[in-house]
Amino acid sequence: MNITSISLSYALLGATLIACSFFIYFKTLVIKTGSGKDSKEKIIGTMKQPEVWRNRNNKMSYLSLFWTVVSLSLFVYLKFFHTSGLISILYIFAYIALIVISTALGRVKDRASN
């Protein structure tokens, strides 16, 4: 099955927006739980290892930022520098699989180090 390169570019724009929203979410959690913040106790509560949790959220925010930049770069390339044509839909599935695998590997690596 094939899709147009324009459709693929807009799918990548959607991935950009989703990854950017995850970046903002994780970074907001890290910032709000910093030392000296009023909201720290509301968010952390009685967590056993809050610093490990903050570190994991910080890593996830940077991973989300990476996928935001990659998705935006691919969107710009396909939208403005690639001629219109048909592209296999397998590319978008492979791209989503890479995002999921990188996130899962980040989570597994965090658990192994604890």
pLDDT at position 110: 61
Q: Give the predicted TM-score (pTM) of the model.
A: 0.84
Residue type, 80: F
Q: Tell me the per-residue pLDDT of 63-104, one tens digit each, with 9 for 90 and over.
A: 999 999 999 999 999 888 888 788 888 988 999 999 999 988
**Which residue ranges make up each domain of the chain?**
2-113
For residue 113 the two structure tokens come to 């180090």
More confident call, 108 vs 97: 97
The rounded distance, in Å, linking the Cα atoms of 2 and 26 is: 35
* Residue 100: closest CA among 36, 22, 30: 22
